Structure 1
Amino acid sequence: MAYLLDDEDMKKRAKKYIDAIIVGQEEDGWICPCSKEERDRYDMWALFLILKVLVVYYECSKDERVEEVIYNATKNFDRHIDTFTIFNWASTRWYEMLIPIYWLYEKRKEDWLVNLSIKVRAQGFDYKYLYENWPYENPSSFGQWSQMSHVVNQAMAVKSLTLFSRISKNDEDKKFSEMMIQKLHDFHGTATGIFTGDECLSGDSPIQGTELCSVAEFMYSLEHLIQITGDVKWSDQLEYIAYNALPAAISPDM
């Protein structure tokens, strides 16, 4: 937003946080905020988010420090998960790491980055199996929480195998998004184009809403589907949500 608005004060504030991230990187490339003793049980999802932010910051600012920081952090991650496989949020959000990996590969055509993509996919949660054996046809019970039915996980995972199809070259991976979205709409869909969820999937009742973050993340996923497939149906769906679900989630009376 700082760069879209060309707001110098906002740019300075953003740079302050980026500087802190960069200065905090260890010599071996580790960049997450924890001690060395905590690394073996550290949820690496934090790394995925840090690197995604750095990619966006670079695209806006062209800060020359960023590429090397991402490279060293990704190298460290590659070594780390050989011993300490990803778990918890990193497992259910594994596909987010593909975004900085692909960005880096466009700049440095190194084979280990392709291999890392495969490694992350192998260690991550298998959404394809989940959706082929779908257990969430009904609303989640009050107070029942699960990574597998978490609404924002679903919104983000919509792009998971389509992202990976750049590596697998598998048309079935690319088509998975369609099946996943259809299943979400069949059992948890709404007239605004988004699926319901108060933390977890909440059925198709017209009086049931959804979280703002699931709307925003679903829109983000659709942006990636447009980029990878070029299919205008994703553009249409993104526009529909932008003019229906998003305003309803941010209006003053919500």
Structure 2
Amino acid sequence: MTTNLKSRLAANEVLVGAVVNILDPMLVEVIAGAGADFLFMDFEHGLKDYSAVANALVAAELCDVPALVRIGEKSENLVARMLDAGAAGLLFSHVSTAEEAQQLVSWCRYKPLGTRGSGVTRGFLRHYGNEFDRRQQASRDVACIMIVEDMVGVGNLEAILAVDGVTGIAIGPGDLSMELGVDRWDHPKVLELLQHMATTVRSFPGMGLLRLCVDPAEAPAQIESGTNMILITHDVHLIKNMYKSLFTGYHTAVEKTNKR
């Protein structure tokens, strides 16, 4: 089992994770080895298949880094299969009500806490104790993060946070900014709303608050506002920006050489 994410949040640690869109085991190892506290594997966007997720989850587990999988489709069977494959927890997109959150949590936990069905899975292979005990431990360990990204969800935020089994809230600034009718995440309307949401989450001790942070200089302000799960930008952006910087440098060197 990977390092328990919920225990670290309960201990008031601030965790720094990364979005993984390219679900390749080697890239997962690179990011985990670079110091990620957790991974945010995106299965909501793009055309990834199940085998890619499965292999990425195995790599994360071998690196002892908890991997959360974001799913767009609200499906009880999909939730079970992701957890069966080794996900430490799930990120549920577009959660707007406490009733939704309650149902999603129930899908993540075995009876009597939830409705997750039992089956022979990867977890069975590394557990040598009682199978009932393993499943009850899995119910306690699983992380259930609700992504609130519309104004209905903002209005129901306290009720969502109060649902037993909700580990944390992720704020979706992209969708919220569009709903507010603005074209950037740093618009005063967006910042005011994000601060309001962070204050609400902070009133629930031990609750995770996950926010995207595109620049380390922004991290102190986010931490002071209550963010304890900092998410650096997408691997696709980072890799593109790295190569863009390199190519720009080399093209500049070529131009200078040709002018001599």
Q: TM-score, normalised by structure 1?
A: 0.27
Q: TM-score, normalised by structure 2?
A: 0.27
Query: Structure with the greater relative contact order (CA < 8 A, sep ≥ 6): 1 or 2?
Result: 2
Structure showing the higher helix proportion among its residues: 1
Structure showing the higher strand proportion among its residues: 2
